[in-house]
Amino acid sequence: MSQPERIPIGSDHAGFELKEKLEAVLTGLGYAVDDVGTHSTSSTDYPDYAHPVAAQVEQGRAKRGILLCGTGLGMSYAANRHHGVRAAVAWSPEVAALSRQHNDSNVLVLPARFLSETEATKILTTWLATPFEGGRHETRVKKIEPEAP
């Protein structure tokens, strides 16, 4: 039997409650959740959680990761500083699917203050299940990393 996929997940205080709910969804689907925090609604700094999740993807220790903050923006800025990380803020299942099909996103970022639990769950399950289309999109994805100056 193969090992369950381990998925790192992190949030700041704004995403904490939704993170806890999505962890239950992931566990129910058979994933091994690696929760890097935060662990309460006390005010905290989103980069402290974005970097540990993105670093695991950058280093190949995890295939994909999940981040949550209020808007999704701060988390995406920090995660996308990591080489090879393509962190996509998704506010609908359609955007989540396209981020996989066209952009091969490897980190899902959820704007927790603007999503219900039901919406976030649908976005998450869509993102997990949608493959990259490759082809012309692969050419474009390869051009994302800037040339050395």
Pairing of strands 87-89, 65-69: unpaired
Residue closer to ligand RB5 by CB (options 73, 129) is: 73
HSE, side-chain direction, 13 A CA sphere, residue 54 = 25
Q: Is 106 in the site for ligand RB5 (CB under 6 A)?
A: no
Residue 73 CB, nearest approach to ligand RB5 (Å): 4
- The 10 Å CB-count burial string (b at 16+, else e) for 54-70 is bbbbbeeebebbbbbbb
Site string for ligand RB5, 37-76 (x = CB under 6 A): ---------x----------------------xxx-xx--
Among candidate residues 13, 69, 83, 137, the one labeled active-site is 69
Residue type, 125: T
Q: Is 8 in the site for ligand RB5 (CB under 6 A)?
A: no
Q: Is 144 in the site for ligand RB5 (CB under 6 A)?
A: no
69 labelled catalytic = yes
Residue 5 CB, nearest approach to ligand RB5 (Å): 27
> How much helix, strand and coil, in percent to the nearest 5, is found in the chain?
45, 15, 40
How far, in Å, CA of 68 to CA of 57, rounded? 16
User: What does the binding site for ligand RB5 look like in residue numbers (CB under 6 A)?
Assistant: 12, 14, 46, 69-71, 73-74
Residues forming the active site: 69, 102
